[in-house]
């Protein structure tokens, strides 16, 4: 069995890395710490659309490339390496959600516009309920005469200030569903929230916002559209984290080769080399978990959400470990404003609590295993 990336995926990764290194600099992320949130310039956004990035994981019948979740994850990883604003991830996740669960006008008209780059989209899941995830939300939509009246609040919405379409989880008659809400509707307001890395984040307030029922994604009776969209978003955040971890480690390895102490590079000392090796091992484990999560989503496996949570929980901590090691092994210069290390640390600290922290995702894995073993026990099967 071949566990290597396909030639198409390798080419996509390499092109994305070269393109972003030439057309985007980390200085934009640094400026955002003391000013407005960093945004992707229109010209750069149009170029990414022209290269087909926003539809990389969408089916060919929808106008996408049909490369699957791994392609989207690779793009998110390269965005993390380059410290590109999260709008790419948000739009990728939104396009995948509509491609897999959308219907009618959403899939026939809105999705092609998203892939073409004319409708930036984001997702709104989290609420002020003390937990993570798509379940148990209090945003309520009352159905009447082909319309939904939505009231409530969503927090921690990525790219809330620039998106033109929000895919929001809502509760209709006690059931969770995903609703496409265009920006600018009467009663819908957005307020900025702060992230320590300066990215666009906001709170959405719905005050009897009227949305047509044809804006619903998928059959909402089982909540599958909501859970799958949240899993896709989680995978992309994990991929961004992994990209940051790789970039921080590459920067640190290069520094340890050049920084001389006692007549030789500091990377030659075991205390340094062993720590670098430990971080690299964690990165590679995280990569394997990420690819497994992507494949499980493409294959629609029953344990997909558990694999996604396993990847996110592990990569959360691996990315923080990598960036903290980078800061410490750079010594005093690692704490300076001019070096990029603190930018990566800020980003991973923020994304480690985006789409669920490590504790939340470990609980998801534990619940999955508990339910699985309970089912085996009830069926009289041997539990191993």
Q: Which long-range contacts (CB under 8 A, 24 or more apart) does 331-336 make?
A: 331/259
**Claim to verify: residue 239 and residue 359 sit in the same structural domain:** yes
Q: Do both 231 and 198 map to the same domain?
A: no
User: Is residue 298 domain-shared with residue 357, that is, in the same domain?
Assistant: yes
List the domain range (segments joined by +) for residue 187.
123-217
Q: Do the beta carbons of residue 72 and residue 92 sit within 8 Å?
A: yes
Q: What is the distance between the alpha carbons of residues 116 and 112, in angstroms, rounded to a whole number?
A: 6
Are residue 43 and residue 73 in the same domain, yes or no?
Answer: yes
Q: Are 206 and 279 in contact, with CB atoms under 8 Å apart?
A: no
- Do residues 383 and 66 lie in contact, with contact meaning Cβ atoms separated by under 8 Å? no
Q: Residue 154 forms beta bridges with which residues?
A: 204
Please identify every stretch of the chain with a pLDDT value under 50, giving residue numbers as ranges.
1, 383
pTM of the entire predicted model: 0.94
Together in a domain, 263 and 129: no
The residue among 15, 374, 359, 355 whose CA lies nearest residue 158 is 355
Answer yes or no: is 1 within a domain.
no
- Answer with the one of 119, 139, 171 that is the final residue of a domain: 119
Residue that is last in its domain, among 217, 248, 271: 217
Give Dmax (Cα) for the chain: 79
Query: The CATH number of the domain where 200 resides is what?
Result: 2.40.110.10
C-alpha dihedral, 32 to 34 to 36 to 39, nearest 10°: 0
What is the pLDDT, as a whole number, of residue 136? 63
Question: Could you tell me if 115 and 155 lie in one domain?
Answer: no
Q: How many domains does the chain have?
A: 3
Residues 82 and 182 in one domain: no
Per-residue model confidence (pLDDT) at position 3 = 66
Task: Out of 217, 241, 256, pick the residue that ends a domain.
Answer: 217
Residue 253 inside a domain? The answer is yes
Residue 113's CATH number: 1.10.540.10
Q: Is residue 162 part of a domain?
A: yes
Q: Are residues 153 and 187 in the same domain?
A: yes
- What local confidence, expressed as pLDDT, does residue 140 receive? 77
Residue 354 resides in a domain = yes
- Is 336 within a domain? yes
In the block, residue with structure tokens 């307001």: 189
* Closest by CA position to 244, among listed 77, 92, 17, 85: 77
Please name which of 40, 67, 47, 45 lies closest in space to residue 56, comparing C-alpha atoms: 67
Pair (237, 366) in one structural domain: yes
Residues 149 and 291 in one domain: no
* Whole-angstrom distance, CA of residue 172 vs CA of residue 150: 9
Residue 152 located in a structural domain: yes
Domain of residue 259, CATH code: 1.20.140.10
Q: Is residue 340 part of a domain?
A: yes
Supply the DSSP string of 259-275, one letter for each residue.
Answer: -EETTEEGGGSHHHHHH
59 and 165 inside one domain? no
pLDDT one-digit tens code per residue, 352-370: 999 999 999 999 999 999 9
Q: Does residue 50 fall inside a structural domain? A: yes
- Residues 202 and 171 grouped into a single domain: yes
């Amino acid at each position: 069995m071949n566990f290597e990336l396909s030639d198409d995926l390798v080419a996509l990764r390499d092109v994305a890395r070269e393109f972003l290194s030439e057309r985007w600099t980390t200085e934009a992320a640094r400026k955002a710490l003391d000013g407005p949130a960093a945004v992707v310039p229109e010209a750069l956004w149009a170029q990414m659309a022209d290269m087909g990035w926003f539809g990389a994981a969408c089916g060919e019948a929808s106008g996408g490339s049909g490369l699957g979740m791994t392609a989207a994850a690779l793009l998110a990883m390269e965005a993390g390496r380059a410290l590109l604003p999260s709008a790419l991830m948000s739009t990728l996740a939104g396009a995948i959600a509509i491609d897999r669960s959308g219907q009618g006008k959403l899939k026939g008209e809105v999705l092609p516009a998203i892939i073409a780059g004319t409708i930036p989209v984001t997702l709104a899941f989290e609420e002020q309920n003390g937990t993570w995830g798509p379940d148990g939300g209090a945003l309520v939509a009352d159905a009447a005469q082909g319309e939904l009246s939505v009231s409530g609040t969503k927090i921690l919405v990525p790219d809330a200030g620039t998106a033109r379409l929000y895919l929001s989880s809502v509760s209709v008659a006690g059931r969770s569903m995903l609703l496409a809400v265009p920006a600018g509707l009467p009663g819908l307001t957005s307020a900025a929230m702060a992230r320590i890395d300066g990215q666009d984040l906001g709170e959405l307030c719905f005050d009897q916002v009227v949305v047509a029922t044809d804006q619903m994604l998928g059959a909402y009776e089982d909540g599958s559209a909501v859970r799958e969209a949240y899993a896709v978003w989680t995978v992309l955040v994990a991929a961004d984290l992994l990209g940051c971890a790789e970039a921080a480690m590459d920067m640190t390895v290069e520094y340890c080769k050049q920084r001389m102490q006692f007549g030789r590079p500091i990377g030659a000392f075991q205390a340094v080399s062993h720590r670098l090796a430990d971080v690299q091992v964690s990165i590679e484990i995280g990569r394997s978990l990420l690819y497994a999560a992507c494949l499980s989503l493409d294959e629609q496996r029953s344990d997909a959400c558990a694999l996604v949570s396993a990847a996110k929980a592990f990569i959360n901590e691996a990315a923080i470990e990598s960036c903290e090691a980078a800061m410490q092994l750079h010594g005093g210069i690692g704490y300076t404003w001019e070096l990029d290390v603190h930018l990566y640390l800020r980003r991973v600290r923020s994304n480690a609590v985006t789409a669920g922290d490590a504790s939340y995702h470990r609980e998801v894995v534990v619940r999955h295993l508990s339910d699985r073993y309970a089912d085996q026990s009830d069926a009289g099967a041997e539990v191993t």
